[in-house]
Amino acid sequence: MSNIVNEIERRRTFAIISHPDAGKTTLTEKFLLYGGAIREAGTVKSRKSSKHAVSDWMEIEKQRGISVTSSVMQFKYNDFCINILDTPGHQDFSEDTYRTLMAADNAVMVIDGAKGVEAQTRKLFHVCALRETPIFTFVNKVDREIRDPYELLEELENELGIKTYPMNWPIGCGMNFKGVFDRVSREVLVFSGGKHGQEQVAVDRIGIDEEDKLIEYIGPAFYEKLMEDIELLDYAGDEFDVEAVRDGKLSPIFFGSALTNFGVEPFLIEFLKQTATPTPRQSDKGEIDIYEEPFSAFVFKIQANMNKAHRDRIAFMRICSGKFEKGIEVNHVQGGKKVRLSQPQQFMAQDREIIEEAYAGDIIGVFDPGIFNIGDTLCKNPNKFTFEGIPSFAPEHFARVKPIDTMKRKQFIKGVTQISQEGAIQVFKRPNIGVEEIIVGVVGVLQFEVLEYRMKNEYNVDIKLEQLAFSNIRWIEESPVAVDKLSLTSDTRLVKDIKDRSILLFQSEWGIGFALEHNPGLVLSSIGKA
Ligand code: GDP
C-alpha cells in the first residue's frame, strides 16, 4: 500500500500551452533533457515544421497507428515522475486540444517575450481557467529583444485576468542579456551563452550582496537598474502566495530562454515545489480520494486508429486514483459492463510502449473495441461512481454537410455520428425541417478535411461540404420563452446538438448582443456543460 502512496505522491501532471512558435517544442525538449529522458536536444521533432498535406498527415497516422496530435510524455526529475501533455499547434488544433487540458492538473504557458499574449494562448488559457488550473508562465526568448517586462506582466494580468508574481527578473535582453535575478534565492544567475542549448548547462550564481562581483559580471548600468527593479518588485508587487498559485489565481512568472537552456532547470525546480500531488477529481459521489480509492480513470480522448482492416481505436484516460495494472478488470460505468484493459500503453515522445503499471496522475492509452465515449468512467470499485463529464467546447468553423450520392444517406449518418462520438467534430441538426440538415462544427479547420477523408475511406461516402458564415456558438442555458420564439437577428440560427441541447449559431458578436438585449432572462454559455 505505501508503495502506491509513494508512487502517487511523486507524480506531477501538466499540459504545455502556447501560441505556435513561442517555443513549446523547445521547452518540452529541454525538460526531457534535464530529466535525462533524452541525451541531446534536437530529438523531439517539431510537427509544425513539416507542413503535410492532409493525406500525408493521414499516412502518418496510419503508420504510427496513433495520432501525431496526441503526445503524452513522461520523464523523471530528481525523485519526481512528471507527465507532460502536449497541446498541438494551429495546424491540427482541434477540440481534443481543449479536452487534453481536462486531464492535466497544471498548465505551463509559454509566451514569446517579444510578442506577449497571442490568440491561441488566450483560448487555451480560458479553458484552463474553467477548472482553476494552476498556471505557470514561462516568458521565453530573453536572449532576444523582448518587450518591457513590466508591460508584459500588465498585459498578462489585463488580458487574462490573473494575478502574476515574477519568480525571477531579467537583466537586459537580446545582445545585452546578462542573466536573471532569482527572487527566491536572492541570487543573480549569470547567462553565459551555452552550447546552443544542446546539453545541460551549469549556471554561475552570485549573491545579491556581492556588489563588486556583480558589477564585474553585469556592468554598473545594469547593476543600478537591477537594484531599482528589485526595490520596485519587492515593495510594489503582490505577495507570493503558494495557495493562490494552486487555486489558479496567481501565476508565477519565469523569464528564460528555452533555446539556450537558460532558466529551464530553475523553472522545473520551482514548478515541482509549488505544485501538489495529483488533483483529486469530482464524481457524482463526491471527491475521489487519490490514495484510498482503488483504480479509477476517465476517458478524455479517443483516437481512431485509421486502420481500415481493424477499425480499432485508442482511448486515452487519466488515472484519478490508485494503481493500474496490466490486464486489470474494471467497471465501465456508462457501458454497464466489466472490461479488461488490454494493451495498456504509455507514450514517450513519439514512441509508445506497453506498460505494466501506472498510478493516479498518469495518462494511459488502452485498446478500445469501440465501446468507450469521451467522458466515460472506469473504476475497480463495484460501488460505481461517475466522474464529472467533459464539456463540449465551442467550435469556430461550421459547414453544411451532405452525401453526394443521396442513396448513401444511411452510411453517411452512421459515419458522421461515429466520428462525432470520437469527438473529432460536433454535429448539429435543425429542428422542424423536412430532410434533416446536418451542420458540422469544428474547432480547427483541418478537421473538415479529416472528416472528408475519413468518410470516403472508412464509410465509402463522398461528402459535400459547404462552409457557413457562423463564427460563434452559444448553448442556451435558460430561455424566457420557448426557444423557437426568441427574438433574434435574421442571420442567427437555432440548432440542436446530439445531446438535444438547444444552441444558437451567430455570425458575429453583435448578434449575441442583440439576442441578450432583446430577450431579457436569456442565459447563454460558450461551453456545452456535460
Ligand atoms: P512551438 O511552435 O511553440 O513549439 O515553438 P518551437 O519550440 O518550435 O520554437 C519556435 C522557434 O523559436 C524555433 O525556431 C526555435 O528555435 C526558436 N526558439 C525557441 N526558444 C527560443 C529561445 O529561447 N530563444 C530564441 N532566440 N529562439 C527560440
Tens-place pLDDT, residues 314-330? 788 999 999 999 889 99
pLDDT interval class at 196 (50, 70, 90): low
Ligand 1 center to 23 CA (angstroms) = 4
The model carries a pTM of 0.89
Tell me 290's DSSP state.
T
- Closest by CA to 204, choosing from 183, 178, 225, 224, is 178
**Helix/strand/coil for 159:** helix
| 53 and 159 housed in the same domain | yes
| CATH number assigned to the domain comprising residue 518 | 3.30.70.3280
Q: Is residue 254 part of a domain?
A: yes
| CATH number assigned to the domain comprising residue 314 | 2.40.30.10
Which three three-digit cell numbers place residue 336?
454497464
Q: What is the pLDDT of residues 457-480, one digit of tens each?
A: 889 999 999 999 999 999 999 999
| 113 and 258 housed in the same domain | yes
CA distance 395 to 474: 10
Q: Is residue 81 part of a domain?
A: no
| 23 and 148 housed in the same domain | yes
Q: Is residue 84 part of a domain?
A: no
83 is in an annotated binding site: no
**Res 346: pLDDT:** 61
Q: What is the pLDDT of residues 221-254, one digit of tens each?
A: 999 999 999 999 999 877 899 999 999 999 999 9
Range of the domain at 448: 397-525
Pocket test for ligand 1, best of 259, 261, 264 (most atoms within 8 A of CB): 259
| 20 and 123 housed in the same domain | yes
20 is in an annotated binding site: yes
Q: Which of 274, 295, 316 marks a domain boundary?
A: 274
Pocket test for ligand 1, best of 18, 26, 110, 115 (most atoms within 8 A of CB): 26
CB of residue 397 inside a 6 A radius of ligand 1: no
Q: Is residue 33 part of a domain?
A: yes
| 361 and 339 housed in the same domain | yes
| 243 and 303 housed in the same domain | no
140 is in an annotated binding site: yes
CB of residue 144 inside a 6 A radius of ligand 1: yes
Q: What is the pLDDT of residues 22-36, one digit of tens each?
A: 999 889 888 888 877
- Residues 264-276 have a mean pLDDT of 94
Ligand 1 center to 21 CA (angstroms) = 6
Q: Is residue 354 part of a domain?
A: yes
CB of residue 26 inside a 6 A radius of ligand 1: yes
| 29 and 146 housed in the same domain | yes
| 11 and 135 housed in the same domain | yes
- Closest by CA to 256, choosing from 139, 359, 156, is 139
| 288 and 153 housed in the same domain | no
Number of domains making up the chain = 3
| 245 and 270 housed in the same domain | yes
Q: Is residue 88 part of a domain?
A: no
- Residues 350-360 have a mean pLDDT of 75
CB of residue 332 inside a 6 A radius of ligand 1: no
* 8 A C-beta contact, residue 92 and residue 54: no
**Res 72: pLDDT:** 79
- Max mean pLDDT among 349-363, 427-441, 476-490 falls in 476-490
**Strand intervals (E) in 375-507:** 377-379, 392-393, 397-403, 426-429, 438-442, 463-468, 472-478, 493-497, 502-506
Q: Which of 331, 350, 379 marks a domain boundary?
A: 379
Q: Is residue 96 part of a domain?
A: no
Q: What is the pLDDT of residues 165-183, one digit of tens each?
A: 999 999 999 989 999 999 9
Query: What is the signed CA dihedral for 233, 238, 239, 245, rounded to 10 degrees?
Result: -120
Question: How many residues in the chain?
Answer: 530
Distance of CA 309 to the CA centre of its chain: 31
424 is in an annotated binding site: no
| 424 and 479 housed in the same domain | yes
Q: Is residue 318 part of a domain?
A: yes
The average confidence (pLDDT) of the chain is 87
- Residues 335-350 have a mean pLDDT of 73
523 is in an annotated binding site: no
Query: What is the torsional sign of CA 438, 442, 445, 450?
Result: negative
Q: Which of 274, 290, 311 marks a domain boundary?
A: 274
Nearest CA to ligand 1 atom 11: 21
| 332 and 481 housed in the same domain | no
**Nearest atom of ligand 1 to the alpha carbon of 48:** 2
| CATH number assigned to the domain comprising residue 16 | 3.40.50.300
**Res 247: pLDDT:** 96
CB of residue 140 inside a 6 A radius of ligand 1: yes
Residue 308 pLDDT exceeds 60: no
CB of residue 275 inside a 6 A radius of ligand 1: no
Residue 307 pLDDT exceeds 90: no
